[in-house]
Amino acid sequence: MCVMIAGGAMTRFNRRKDASSYRDWAQAAFSAALRDAGLERHDIDALVVASESDFFTLQLNPASLLADELGLFGIRLMRVEGGGASGQIAVQAGAALVASGQAQRVAVLGLEPSASHLPGAVVSELYSFSYDAWTDGMTGVDSTSIYALSALAFMQRTAATQQDFARIAVRNRQNARQNPNAHLPLDITLNDVAASPVISAPYRRLDCSPLSDGAACVILSRPENLPEMGKDRARILGMGCANDRVRLAERADPGDFAAKRLSAQRAYSSAGITPAEIGLAEVYDSYSGAQLQALEALGFADDVVRAEREGMFCASGAVPVNLSGGLLGQGAPVGATGVAQVLTCAQQLEGRYAGVAPGTPPRFALADTHGGIATLCAVTILGAAK
């Protein structure tokens, strides 16, 4: 596969209080991505939109509306939805269009107005329907409670502690302080995390990612269909996707992200590399413990808790993780999250990322996202231009 990340851009991830809408953010991200790629609107022949919920946009069939808003006509359109994985599988769908020759230059646009459009309690209730609405959401079981149950099972098996989780919450927020697009660039300590209110044990407020608004866009193409500036950009080398049982209690190990492990294995095989060759990762840290669970499933260490304590995943470590701040620091407008992860990885590989840089320039980077509690998982591996 030789699909280039020809260009990309994102808006700030935050809580919008300026009366702007997702249509404005989509236009801003798309226009900036075109400029970054050195392309014009008429060069785009396919648009893939990632948007988790029509409740947030209040728009059925958002791909058609957004194509109209962006001045794109007579092209291929697709809307992708997979819960938290929406943005990542949208990138994979766009890459498949390019790789198969069905499109030459694809814009992948992820967005979500999940912070300012509805009250937080309503958004929390809607997110609880990401699981089995009958057995979970409609019974009053919320997302944090289900993630907490999974984290407790992980802690029992691995001896991970709340301090391990808190260290991740602190580090990701600190990384976000150098990210100009971040929602929560906080200067916090382990004591701050421990002093924040319990939401659902073991998780406290600062262990949880925020509700965010925002949009992100990447332009995908083959090198021969790009101007000269786009031929030295990062490329997609491998992709993997897999699902697991929706209901946590029906899994063999509620603390194990088995579908993520399978997604990663498929992505490594597709790219022809091993986990040891990954030099940077952006992973789905909707909760601090979920980052550690993800890193275990991605195969970065035999003992992921020990690796975390030894600094393997900090900026100077062997596999720097979430230098953007991740969902905890950068923010989490769901449809935009996976797209932004791919953009961050690409810019890090190209040496032009605006935030924290890894101690050693990476050759390969990994973007990981999931919907539910690792129920639908997607992993994308990128490489630096040859």
What are the structural domains, with CATH classification, of the chain? 3-118+211-232 (3.40.47.10), 120-210+236-383 (3.40.47.10)
Write the pLDDT tens digit of every residue in 89-110: 999 999 999 999 999 999 999 9
Ranges of the chain with pLDDT below 70: 1, 229-231
The helix/strand/coil state of 95 is helix
Provide the pLDDT for residue 312: 98
User: What are the residues whose beta carbons fall under 8 Å from the beta carbon of 14, sequence distance 6 or more?
Assistant: 115, 183, 212, 213, 214, 331
The position carrying tokens 């939805």 is: 81
Please tell me the predicted confidence (pLDDT) of residue 341. Answer: 98
| Torsion, Cα of 354, 360, 366, 368 (10° steps) | -70
Query: Which pLDDT value is given to residue 12?
Result: 97
Task: Kindly report, residue by residue over 159-187, the tens digit of the pLDDT.
Answer: 999 999 999 999 999 999 999 999 999 99
- CA–CA separation, 170 and 162 (whole Å): 12
Instruction: Tell the residue number behind the tokens 């797209």, with chain if given.
Output: 339
| Six token digits for residue 34 | 């075109």
Residue 106: beta bridge partners?
46, 220
Rounded CA gap, 116 and 90, in Å? 24
* Residue matched to tokens 């060759």: 277
92 secondary structure, DSSP code: H
Please name the residue that has the structure tokens 């069939």: 61
